[in-house]
Amino acid sequence: MEKIIRAARGLDKADLVLKNGEIINVFTMKLEKADVAICEGKICGIGTYEGLEEVDISGKFVAPGFMDGHIHIESSLMMPAEFSKAVIVHGTTAVMTDPHEIANVCGTQGIDFMMEESVNLPLDIYFLLPSCVPSSSFDEGGAVLEASDLSPYYSNEKVLGLAELMDYPGTISADKKILDKIKDACGKTIDGHAPGLKGKNLCAYIAAGVMSDHECISIDEALERISLGMTVMIREGTAAKNLSSLIKLFEKPYCDCCILATDDKHPESLINEGHIDHIIRKAVKLGADPITAVKMATYNTARYFGLRKKGAVAPGYDADLVVLSDLNNVNVDMVYKNGILIAEKGEEIFSTNDKYNRYFNDEKSSLNHKNHKYYRIFNSFNMRTLSEEDFFINSSDNINKIRTISLVPGEIATKMEIMDYNQETNGISVENDVLKLAVIERHKDSGHIGLGFIHGYGLKRGAIASSVSHDAHNLIVIGTNEYDMCTAANMVRNMQGGLAVADGSFKEILPLSAAGLMSNLSASELAENMADIRHAAMSLGAAEGIDPFMTLAFVSLPVIPEVRLTTLGLVDVDSQSLISTFEQ
C-alpha cells in the first residue's frame, strides 16, 4: 500500500501510466482528459503522472473493464481458459457465471471443476451457485443439488450468490427446499429468472429475496420489475436477444437499475459480433448514450454484485481497463487486467501454459482412473451401447394418431399437434416432416429412453445427435430412420459427449468431452468446427430458419411450454404431467 500511496502522490513513478486519454467517468458521466496512473495492479491516481512505463493514448478512451452479469460459460462450448481469451479481446474483464449446465451433469464436482479451471486466468470469473438442479422432476440429470450442497461454497470469495432462481412457481409456493437455498445466500446476491411473472406473484418472488431478472422481453415487464426494486439484466446473447425491446432502459432513471448480460453465447457470435462490447455498440446504434451504456456494463454490475473495487476508472479501483479507439463504435484497442496488458487489437496477450486446460493435458490414462478427482467430468456417459431396436416404439394395432412436438419458427416454445400414425414406418413420415425423437438417459445407466415425434425440423435423411440438451443434458437424437439415429447416438456416447451427424456412411462429429458440454478447442477452432457440423446437418435437409443443434438443445427442457420429450416420455409442461405419445 505504501508503494501505491507514494505513486499516487507522485513521489515515485507509477508502474504504468496511460497518458492523455479521455476517461469515461461513471460518476460525473463525462469524458475527462487525464492520465491514469497504475501501481501494483490498482489505479492510484488520475491527473498528470509519470510512469516506469508510459503508453500514450491520445485521442482514445479509457473505460472500466466490461462485465457480463449472467452467462453460462458452458454455452460457449469452451473451457474457462479458452472462453477467457475469446472475451478479453472484446474488453470483458469479469463475468458472473452460473455453472448450471455442468452441475446438471456432474453436480458439485462440476462446480468444483469450473472453479478450479477459472483460477489464474486474465479474466475474473465469479460464480453464482446453480439454484435449480434439476430444473424439474421430469429431468433425469446427473445430480440433485440441495441447499446443503451449495452452502459450503459461500465462503469462497469468488462466489457472489445464488444463480437464477428459475423455479419461481416453487419460490412463490414457499417450497422449503428453495427457501433454504435463499436463506443460505442471505447477504449475497440472489439472481432471478421469472418470465411473465407480475403483480402480487412478482411481489412475492421479490419479497422472498430475489434481486434481479434477466428474462424481461418487454419494456412493461422490465419497468414493473424496476419499480419494485429489482435490477434488470438486459440480455442480448446468442439464443435470446432482448436489447431492442428494452432500449428505453438506457434512459434515466431506469439505467441506474440495469446491467448487461448474455446468458448464452456461442463461439461464432463471440467471434463475429463480440461480447458485452457488442451490446454496448448495438445500444448506442439504437440511440443510447455511450457513457450510460458503459456505466451499465461496468459500475452498475459491480455494485449489484457488491464488488466495491471494480467498475470505475478512479483511485483505489482495480486497474481492469479497456482502451477504446472509438467510443460510439466501441472499438476495443487494448485491455488491461490488474494493470497488465492482456489483449491488444483483437489478440490476447497471455500464453496458454500448463496452468490452463490442465485436465485435457493430463495423460488419458490418468483421467481414466476412477479415483481421479475429475474422472466423472471426462467420463460423463454412463450408459450401454445402443442398438437399433432401442428406437422402435411398441404400439398396439388400434393406434392411428400420435401427439407430436411441433416446433414454432423463431421460438423456443413448442405446440402439441395431433398427427396421423403410420404403423409401417413406426411413425416416421419424412414427407410430412414427422421425425422421430429420442432422449436417452446417460448419467446413471437407467436404460430410460423417451421416444416421440417432432414436426417442423425438416430433416430429409440421416440423424443428428447431441449431448447438449437442457437442462439434464441427456443424449438427444432426431432422425429419419432408426439405423442412423442409433449410429449418431452411439457416436456421441463413444466420444463421451458432443455433436454427431450420421447418414449411412457419412459421419461428422464435434467432440465435447468435458461433461459432454465443452471442448478444449479455441473459439475460432470451435466456430470452424461448428460451421462444418452445422453445414453437415443442414445438408441432410434441416428446415430453413432452424438452428439444428440449438433447436435440439431445448426440446427436452420440461419447463418451457407446451410439450417436451424427456427420458421418461412426453411431458405436458403446463400440467407438469407425463402424457402418452399415442392418442387413444
Using DSSP's 3-state secondary structure scheme, residue 392 falls into coil
Nearer to its own copies, 67 or 502 (CB): 67
43 binds its own copies (CB under 8 A): yes
From the list 180-188, 353-361, 379-387, 533-541, the region that binds its own copies by CB under 8 A is: 180-188
Nearer to its own copies, 31 or 550 (CB): 31
206 binds its own copies (CB under 8 A): yes
| Least CB distance to its own copies at residue 175 (A) | 10
Query: Using CB under 8 A, which residues numbered 239 to 258 contact its own copies?
Result: 252-254, 256-257
Residue written as grid cell 454427431: 500
Nearer to its own copies, 231 or 487 (CB): 231
Q: Which of 52, 119, 144, 228 binds its own copies (CB under 8 A)?
A: 228
Query: Using CB under 8 A, which residues numbered 20 to 39 contact its own copies?
Result: 25, 27-29, 32, 37
| Least CB distance to its own copies at residue 208 (A) | 6
Using DSSP's 3-state secondary structure scheme, residue 276 falls into helix
155 binds its own copies (CB under 8 A): no
Element at 104 (helix H, strand E) = helix 100-117
Cα-atom radius of gyration of the chain, to the nearest Å?
25
Residue written as grid cell 458503459: 294
Nearest to 522 by CA among 276, 343, 268, 264: 268
Q: Which of 50, 154, 169, 201 binds its own copies (CB under 8 A)?
A: 201
x-or-dash string of contact with its own copies, 309-348, rule CB under 8 A: ---x-xxxx-------------------------------
Q: Which of 81, 172, 293, 468 binds its own copies (CB under 8 A)?
A: 172
- Residue 17 pairs in a beta bridge with 37, 54
9 binds its own copies (CB under 8 A): yes
- 459 Cβ contact partners less than 8 Å away, ≥ 6 residues apart: 430, 435, 478, 479, 480, 540, 541, 542
Nearest to 546 by CA among 411, 378, 442, 435: 411
Q: Which of 31, 182, 217, 340 binds its own copies (CB under 8 A)?
A: 182
CB 213 within 8 A of CB 232: yes
Using DSSP's 3-state secondary structure scheme, residue 284 falls into helix
Nearer to its own copies, 4 or 63 (CB): 4
45 binds its own copies (CB under 8 A): yes
Q: What is the maximum alpha-carbon separation in the chain? A: 91
Whole-number Cα distances in Å, 318 to 78, 93, 124: 27, 11, 11
The rounded Cα 432 to chain-centroid distance in angstroms is 34
Nearer to its own copies, 28 or 328 (CB): 28
CA–CA separation, 80 vs 352, rounded Å?
Answer: 12
CA–CA separation, 454 vs 438, rounded Å?
Answer: 10
| Least CB distance to its own copies at residue 176 (A) | 8
Nearer to its own copies, 182 or 240 (CB): 182
5 binds its own copies (CB under 8 A): yes
Q: Which of 1, 33, 544, 574 binds its own copies (CB under 8 A)?
A: 1
Nearer to its own copies, 43 or 145 (CB): 43
Whole-number Cα distances in Å, 89 to 18, 92, 311, 335, 396: 18, 7, 18, 7, 59
x-or-dash string of contact with its own copies, 356-395, rule CB under 8 A: ----------------------------------------
C-alpha cell at 138: 421430469
536 binds its own copies (CB under 8 A): no
Backbone angles phi, psi at 155, to 5 degrees: -75, -10
- Residue 450 pairs in a beta bridge with 439
Residue count, binding to its own copies (CB under 8 A): 56
SS (H, E, C) 482-542: HHHHHHHHHHHHHCCCEEEEEECCEEEEEECCECCCEECCCHHHHHHHHHHHHHHHHHCCC
| Least CB distance to its own copies at residue 211 (A) | 8
418 binds its own copies (CB under 8 A): no
| Least CB distance to its own copies at residue 84 (A) | 26
SS (H, E, C) 175-191: CHHHHHHHHHCCCCEEE
Q: Which of 155, 229, 398, 505 binds its own copies (CB under 8 A)?
A: 229
Backbone angles phi, psi at 45, to 5 degrees: -155, 150
Amino acid at 64: P
| Least CB distance to its own copies at residue 224 (A) | 10
13 binds its own copies (CB under 8 A): no
x-or-dash string of contact with its own copies, 275-314, rule CB under 8 A: ----------------------------x--x-x---x-x
| Least CB distance to its own copies at residue 50 (A) | 11
408 binds its own copies (CB under 8 A): no
| Least CB distance to its own copies at residue 145 (A) | 20
CA–CA separation, 542 vs 120, rounded Å?
Answer: 42
| Least CB distance to its own copies at residue 66 (A) | 18
Nearer to its own copies, 223 or 560 (CB): 223
CB 204 within 8 A of CB 194: no
223 binds its own copies (CB under 8 A): yes
Classify 352 in phi/psi space as left (phi over 0), alpha (psi -120 to 50) or beta. beta
46 binds its own copies (CB under 8 A): yes
Site residues for its own copies per CB under 8 A = 1-2, 4-6, 8-10, 25, 27-29, 32, 37, 42-47, 171-174, 179, 182-183, 187, 199-201, 203-204, 206-209, 211, 223, 226-229, 252-254, 256-257, 303, 306, 308, 312, 314-317
